[in-house]
Amino acid sequence: MYFLVLFEPTGERIIYQNEKPSETVTVKDLLEWITDRFHFETGTGEIGNRRLSLLYDNTELQLHWFLRDINIRFGATVKCAVIEG
C-alpha cells in the first residue's frame, strides 16, 4: 500500500509504504510512524493540549480502524493535522 501523507503544519509530503501485512496496520500505527518521521512531540512540554489527527476523504480517521478497511486509493493523500483543544 502506497499513499502520500501531507503534514499540514510544515506542508511536507512523504510517501507511506506499508511494510506490515495490511490486515494488522491501524491508524494508530500510522500516526506513530508520522510522529517519529516528523519528530512531533506530544509530551507534557507542549503548550496546550495538542494531538495529531488524520483526515482522508473529509473524514477523521479513528485510531482503532484498520488501514485495509479504509480503502485508501493508491497515490491518494492523507492529511495529518495538529488539533488543539
Output the pLDDT for position 43.
Answer: 46
- Average per-residue pLDDT for the chain: 83
Longest dimension (CA), the chain: 37
Q: How far apart are the first and last CA of the chain?
A: 32
CA nearest to 29, candidates 66, 1, 4: 66
pLDDT(4) > 60: yes
Give the residue-averaged pLDDT of 28-40: 86
- Amino acid identity of residue 10, one-letter, is T
28 versus 83: the higher-pLDDT residue is 28
- The pTM for the full model equals 0.80
> Considering the domain 2-84 in this protein, what is its CATH number?
3.10.20.90
pLDDT (tens digit, 9 = 90+) per residue, 45-74? 444 677 889 999 999 999 999 988 898 888
* Residue 36 near residue 62, CB atoms below 8 Å: no
- Amino acid identity of residue 41, one-letter, is E
68 versus 6: the higher-pLDDT residue is 6
Q: How far apart are CA 12 and CA 43, in angstroms?
A: 22
Output the pLDDT for position 77.
Answer: 95
Domain ranges for the chain:
2-84
Cβ-based burial of 55 (10 A; exposed 0-12, middle 13-18, buried ≥19): middle
